[in-house]
Amino acid sequence: MKIFEYSSYDVEHFFDSKTKTDSQFDKILLSEWSRLMNTDGIFKFRLDHPLPTRILSGEHKFVVQQNSKRYSEKRPSQIQTKSDINIPFDDGKFNFNKIKSQEFLLKLNHLDENKNFNDDFIIINNSPIEQGHCLIVPKLHSNQNQVLNIDSVKLAVDLMLLSASTNIVIGYNSVQAYASVNHLHMHLYYLNSVKNESGFPFPIQIVSNAQKLSQYLWFLNEEITLMPAFSVQLSDFDQNLLKFSKFIYLIIEYFVQKNLPHNLVLVKSSPYGVCSEQVTVRAVVWPKRPACDVVSNNMGINFAMCELAGHFFLPNDEDFDKITEEFLFGVANDAKLDSIELEIIKQDLVKIFN
């Protein structure tokens, strides 16, 4: 395991161009990840690269990849089928204290913090989705349950800005939104193999016509993303990272208080409604029905953070050539909240943001 040290200065001087090369963070993480991928007995399977990939026809350009081993080889869920989203950490179940020492990629040391508080780690996901797929585990030895707090949100924002890549995604699944381990973690990976006209590989990155609900809060309806979502972007905060992180957390905190399952995605993108080369960080949060209440579909697709970002990998290889944009919207329709509940959420969040 390598130690990656960074300061507030490193984070605050983030890139604003699509043309920069990989940062030191990107190089170290991907180098270590590749080294472990080529070491026997660490990952559950050897990830083909590049994976067979399709861009679905239709307006949204969803990305579909052939990676059925992600389903067949991943750890089974340790979370009850029916539960609240804020359930206590249980040391008797699988958690990240129990992984092999070789699964640790990086220890993150923030040089501006007391070294005794530096307990943030990046570990491999041993059943990877794509290149560099790993898990961010904030304050690992504090045994936090799978509920985001302001510190973990700020850590995710820092890592987005330490990366120079526009192909990176960081995401989070709450309990009842397809989290499988009740030990606080977020996903990080790169989608480097997908090329399109926009320069951004994830469909959520190219959404531009969001509705502005307040000075900082944006709304994405189901016509522009798979199910309704709320969003904030760093460019609206004059690059104030802490304020940006706090407003992301306001949305998360509201959903936790209401016991609403949710998924979070952080990506690089152009600002909403602006046609320019400027690049900002976009946070998108989807509230949804509990996973236990969603009827399964014949392709076995679940809408977790990857799928909501527009990136799909299928349990069955034979479905790779069959899946369509129309089918995905039909499946998403079963998981989204009803319009009355969504309207209440919109009104509540506008009040909170104001």
C-beta neighbour count of 59 within 10 angstroms: 10
Looking at per-residue confidence, does 79 or 168 come out higher? 168
For residues 265-275, average pLDDT: 91
Tell me what pLDDT residue 19 has.
47
CA angle, corner 295, sides to 289 and 299, nearest 5? 115
- Rounded to whole angstroms, how far apart are CA atoms 76 and 73? 9
Residue listed under structure tokens 């959420």:
345
Looking at per-residue confidence, does 111 or 14 come out higher? 111
For residues 36-61, average pLDDT: 94
Tell me what pLDDT residue 17 has.
44
Burial zone of 281 (CB within 10 Å; 0-12 exposed, 13-18 middle, 19+ buried): buried
Mean of pLDDT over the chain: 94
Residue 14 has pLDDT above 90, yes or no: no
For residues 19-30, average pLDDT: 86
Per cent of the chain over pLDDT 70 is 97
Of the candidates 61, 84, 220, which has an alpha carbon nearest to the alpha carbon of residue 147? 84
Sign, CA dihedral 64-70-72-78, equals negative
Residue 206 has pLDDT above 60, yes or no: yes
- Rounded to whole angstroms, how far apart are CA atoms 286 and 303? 10
Of the candidates 332, 70, 65, which has an alpha carbon nearest to the alpha carbon of residue 201? 65
Tell me what pLDDT residue 186 has.
98
* pLDDT tens digit sequence for 141-150: 999 999 999 9
- Rounded to whole angstroms, how far apart are CA atoms 169 and 335? 22
Q: Candidates 3.30.750.24, 3.30.420.10, 3.30.428.70, 2.60.40.3880; correct CATH number of 2-353? A: 3.30.428.70
Tell me what pLDDT residue 56 has.
97
Within 8 A by CB and 6+ apart from 27, the residues are none
CA angle, corner 276, sides to 271 and 282, nearest 5? 20
- Rounded to whole angstroms, how far apart are CA atoms 332 and 341? 16
**Sorting pLDDT into bands at 50, 70 and 90, what band is 15?**
low
Helix (H, G, I), strand (E, B) or coil at 27: helix
Domain ranges of the chain: 2-353
Tell me what pLDDT residue 276 has.
73
For residues 75-90, average pLDDT: 85
Residue 278 has pLDDT above 90, yes or no: no
Tell me what pLDDT residue 80 has.
65
- Rounded to whole angstroms, how far apart are CA atoms 83 and 112? 38
Tell me what pLDDT residue 20 has.
57
Tell me what pLDDT residue 247 has.
98
Tell me what pLDDT residue 302 has.
93
Residue 49 has pLDDT above 90, yes or no: no
For residues 309-316, average pLDDT: 95
